Structure 1
Amino acid sequence: MYFFETPTKKRIAQVACAVIWCLFGAGPIFGFAALKPVLVDQKVYEDVCNLSSQDYLAEGFIPNCTEQDLKLNMMFTTGAVLTNVSALLIGRTLDIYGPRVCGLIGATSMLFASLVFIYSKSITWFDPYLVGYAAMALGGPFSFISSFQLSNAFPEKSGLILALLTGAFDTSSAVFLVYKFAYTRWPEALKIETFYKMYLVIPLFIVLAEIFIMPNESYLTPPVDLIPNPTEEQQRLAEALEREDSLHEVNENTHLLAVQGAAKRRSSLGEAYRSAYVEEELEEVTTPTPNSVFGILHGYPSSYQFRTYWFLLICLFATIQMLRLNYFVATVNSQYTYLLGSYEKSAKLNKVFDIALPLGGVLSIPVIGRILDGCSTSLVMFILLAVSILIGVLNCIKNSFVAGVINVLIFVCYRPFFYTSISDYCAKVFGFETFGTVYGSVMTISGIFNFLQSPLDRLTHTVFRMNPIPLNLLLLFITLVIGGTHVVYVHVQSKAYNKKRRAHNLRR
């Protein structure tokens, strides 16, 4: 479906609806650090503790024992895994059944999660908190990723729309923060069951929007000759896309591809990103940028791309980074209770983290855009590695509240930078034809390994007696090895690739 087949006002309403539901439903599970003390205060999983034992930790908003803490953290671990593992499934569902089906699946999952939490006290045949949180985690990406195709509702503004959706996703972690603030004022009136009764509005809103407002098919960018009365911007973009298509075969020869008859674009996610990258792709075809990797595997089938070091190394790097990011989100309070030697100081730092996490994603978007647009991919990967190492070092400093605050502030900016850089890497290296498959695979594989959070958490509680430094150092070392290898590989390959391009252009 083309954008001009839908009235402008309706397309504006569609984008607005998507931003609203992403703001409240795309990724609230990542606000777990704010929700966890509320669950503790409501005695969730407290029945697993023997309060007369020496395992007793504290009263109030701190888990009473190791088992309670581990079970609460397992809620987030499962949610984080499902959020990422579902990426490939969602991409396939979007390609086959369209965005409306994806959105309705997401709404159904959120509705189920809300009902489970509402009746959690009477559910005995399964763990309602684990299942409810998992269902909420699964519903978020279904509604979020199905919105990507709206970037082509206004092709000339595709980058802005993607930024709005991404910013709404990052800000959605504030849902539990707002709930925590309200709960501390009215604890008796705002039990978890009451909160989810109010939250029912979100899945119901998505259902109504999908039925009456949202498109049944994904938007595509049309050829210029099909656009009635195009604006200058629309005409320029459509002509650029046509030139990019006409140059695709030349682009394959220029990039020395050995595969013939590359498949046509079928990825809905790739099509959503395509308009945002068309200018860069045209520039790379006409005036290649030094040390660029844009197009290095464009045109190859995904079956070949999966067998390259490009895929293997980004998958390993994404896996270790995602494990570190989500492990920190789940355990920031307990880590800094040990590092600062005080629950009061840790609670203050946790408040900073709760507020900074949603703000970091929004405020860092312009800076992230400038870095990705102005730096080569090898330099972007180096910056990612350097910042990740800095976070790891800061996360091992004891008795310094300032170091903790700096670490938190860098972390909340690094997290959206990491996720945006991975999608940017996949688009530039692997191309738009296979983007959904490759990006979904990276997220899925990385998500599966996030289950390692649970044994790492248990090691910290038992073997290391709540000391997070040994595991933080181990994860830092693995990051240095994998990330360093990846940065060197991208740098060496980009130089070799550009040397071949220059030689090829001289022969023409």
Structure 2
Amino acid sequence: MVLSDTSEGDIGWKKWFIAGWAFMECLFFGGLLYGWASVNFVLKMEGIYGCDSVLISNNSLTYSQNSSGNDVISVVSFNGTEAPSLVTMDSVPATSLNDTMEESDGSCKQQDSNMALCFTIASTLFCVGCAVLGHINYKFGTRVTRIISFFMFVIGSLMMAFISKENPWLMYPGLSCLGIGGLPLLVTNTQVSNLFLVGSSSIVGLLCGGFDMSSAVMLIVKLAYQGGFSRQYMFIIIAVLHVLVLVSTFFFLPKDYIVRPEVKTERQSEVAGEEEVGIELINKTNDAVAEQSANDVPSLRSCLLDPKFITHNIWLCLLQLRFYYFIGTLNQYLTRILKTQDQVSYFLDVCMYTMMVGLLTSFLSGIVYDWQKSLCKDGKSHTYREVMPAVLPLTIASTLSLLLSILVLIPVTELLYVSFIVMTVYRSFLYSLAAAFLSAMFPGQYFGMLYGVMILFGGIFSFFQFAFFTWAGSYPTAPQHANICLLCLVLLSYVHPLYLWLTSWKEERKFKVN
């Protein structure tokens, strides 16, 4: 079943098995970074980067007054660990004490700042690592890229396993390596869509759906932790299971990469009796590059300077910043609205469960894209046939981001369910279309490089999320103001689909005039 560099022709049912295996890899190991909210909750429960002062919760104290008239708080427990049994607060009225109890629900600005900074650094390096590994993928092929990502992921998992109060800094490189090691699985597996002449965008959407759903792995870590399993044990299991990706690395996927197939001629279709064609793997030592140059394949430089690629980068940067800020501050957002840790834990679980539906929504975005392709296939302009199908799905993604930006401005508990659903669909459209657009618009051998550059710019821009987080904590109404600013940035993302629409109709009108 191995796809060696000598494999030619149609591979029949094998492509479905390979696509299924690729989906499994993306599901279990691809986007664990996006499950940060669940791990964040666990690390807070363990007191990682916690405040020096004793945190107060309504379930762990009793209030009394001593002979001197001072308020006395008897602390029974603190997050499952022993704490000082007596804390004296001089001259604190009962009303002030009640306010203190409500505000001291486990939140700690020092801890929140470290957690937000960790996610910001990890998400940025996640994108930078994608650019670097995308270049490696372009230069050295699939196998080398996946071997490097394998070691990065295992190292990250082990670092996450051994985080402790004595070594809390391990969460910074740990989460970063976990993200850097996971994303190449999506990048290298996306080429599997080239095995399918019909529905390739849907396959990309399916893989991105698995990538989205992988955040549920972190939810499993959280639930297992609450059930009595140690965090260390769970991350060691994840590291061991990651060995499974070596199976496809050496047996299913080629050493180099898969190129998009050409449609068969009528005579070839009669002989083969099939509608779909097989694949031909590139061997860089032969004349494949020369043949593609003869077929007017654009240069990598021209692809990087293409206005469609530039506006697509801007679109991703704006929408990814909105998504990263929502995920990175979800714990604090829920704490601010709900006030109790039990409710925060419940809604975190609801959010993670909702994100698991990303499989269906990512597949839906691919279906919408392919449906638009079928509607535009009769266009006389090549630009119209290739570019116009992307307009509607890209517009839907921007609209979903706008809707999420509006929902977070309304602090109503019941709307949290709606927010999670919108966020899940929005994220699925965002990353499925980010990949599917590049796959459809540019040569397949450039995909890893272009995707890496796009994610790099997105990661650099997403570093602004920490500035938004700092702003949100500066004064009481700052979170609302920060979200309003993000809403305005999301509106700018409509420039991309608008540009594509104008370009497509401009080219199509030329043929109608003639």
The within-5 A match list for 1:207-246 is 207=246, 209-211=248-250, 214-220=253-259, 231-233=272-274, 236-237=276-277
TM-score, with structure 1 as normaliser: 0.75
Equivalent in the alignment of 1:92: 135
Equivalent in the alignment of 1:349: 347
Equivalent in the alignment of 1:364: 361
C-alpha displacement of 1:121: 4.2
C-alpha displacement of 1:424: 3.3
Asked if 1 retains the 8 angstrom alpha-carbon contact of 2:41 and 2:331, the reply is: no
Among 483, 489, 494, the residue aligned to 1:478: 489
Equivalent in the alignment of 1:386: 399
Asked if 1 retains the 8 angstrom alpha-carbon contact of 2:366 and 2:433, the reply is: no
CA distance in structure 1 between the aligned counterparts of 2:202 and 2:260, rounded to whole angstroms: 16
C-alpha displacement of 1:97: 1.9
Among 146, 161, 169, the residue aligned to 1:127: 169
- Pairing 1:37–2:41 present: yes
Equivalent in the alignment of 2:465: 453
- Pairing 1:76–2:119 present: yes
After superposition, what is the alpha-carbon deviation per residue over 1:439-487, rounded to whole angstroms, capped at 9, x for unaligned?
Answer: 33222101111111222212212x134752110000101221x224334
Among 334, 337, 348, the residue aligned to 1:336: 334
Equivalent in the alignment of 2:475: 464
The within-5 A match list for 1:27-426 is 27-46=31-50, 49-51=51-53, 60=79, 64-121=107-164, 127-152=169-194, 158=200, 161-186=203-228, 190-207=229-246, 209-211=248-250, 214-220=253-259, 231-233=272-274, 236-237=276-277, 263=293, 300-307=298-305, 309-340=307-338, 344-359=342-357, 361-375=358-372, 376-398=389-411, 400-426=412-438
Q: Secondary structure at the match of 2:121?
A: helix
After superposition, what is the alpha-carbon deviation per residue over 1:53-100, rounded to whole angstroms, capped at 9, x for unaligned?
Answer: 99xxx9649754112112112222222223322333223222322222
Q: Secondary structure at the match of 2:255?
A: coil
Structure number with bigger Rg: 2
CA distance in structure 2 between the aligned counterparts of 1:139 and 1:63, rounded to whole angstroms: 32
Asked if 2 retains the 8 angstrom alpha-carbon contact of 1:13 and 1:213, the reply is: no
After superposition, what is the alpha-carbon deviation per residue over 1:252-289, rounded to whole angstroms, capped at 9, x for unaligned?
Answer: xxxxxxxxx99468xxxxxxxxxxxxxxxxxxxxxxxx
After superposition, what is the alpha-carbon deviation per residue over 1:339-358, rounded to whole angstroms, capped at 9, x for unaligned?
Answer: 45655544433222111112
C-alpha displacement of 1:146: 1.9
CA distance in structure 1 between the aligned counterparts of 2:493 and 2:329, rounded to whole angstroms: 23
The answer for unaligned runs of 5 or more in structure 1 is: 240-260, 266-297
CA distance in structure 1 between the aligned counterparts of 2:158 and 2:164, rounded to whole angstroms: 11
After superposition, what is the alpha-carbon deviation per residue over 1:150-202, rounded to whole angstroms, capped at 9, x for unaligned?
Answer: 3345666755653443232122111011111121111xxx2222112212222
Equivalent in the alignment of 2:451: 439
C-alpha displacement of 1:417: 0.5
CA distance in structure 2 between the aligned counterparts of 1:79 and 1:489, rounded to whole angstroms: 32
Asked if 1 retains the 8 angstrom alpha-carbon contact of 2:133 and 2:145, the reply is: yes
CA 1:302–1:336: 2 relative to 1, 3 Å: same
C-alpha displacement of 1:305: 4.6
CA distance in structure 2 between the aligned counterparts of 1:10 and 1:374, rounded to whole angstroms: 26
With 328-337 and 373-382 compared, the bigger mean Cα shift is at: 373-382
Q: Counterpart amino acid of 2:395? A: F
CA 1:475–1:445: 2 relative to 1, 3 Å: same
CA 1:148–1:102: 2 relative to 1, 3 Å: same
CA 1:474–1:4: 2 relative to 1, 3 Å: same
C-alpha displacement of 1:415: 0.5
RMSD: 3.6
CA distance in structure 1 between the aligned counterparts of 2:294 and 2:454, rounded to whole angstroms: 22
Q: Counterpart amino acid of 2:351? A: F
CA 1:42–1:336: 2 relative to 1, 3 Å: closer
CA distance in structure 2 between the aligned counterparts of 1:122 and 1:477, rounded to whole angstroms: 40
Asked if 1 retains the 8 angstrom alpha-carbon contact of 2:30 and 2:185, the reply is: yes
Q: Secondary structure at the match of 1:364?
A: helix
Asked if 1 retains the 8 angstrom alpha-carbon contact of 2:143 and 2:254, the reply is: yes
CA distance in structure 2 between the aligned counterparts of 1:164 and 1:435, rounded to whole angstroms: 17
Structure 1 vs Structure 2: percent identity of aligned residues? Answer: 22
Equivalent in the alignment of 2:287: none
CA distance in structure 2 between the aligned counterparts of 1:424 and 1:213, rounded to whole angstroms: 22
C-alpha displacement of 1:15: 4.3
Equivalent in the alignment of 1:279: none
CA distance in structure 2 between the aligned counterparts of 1:407 and 1:495, rounded to whole angstroms: 35
Q: Counterpart amino acid of 2:52? A: N
Greater per-residue helix proportion: 1
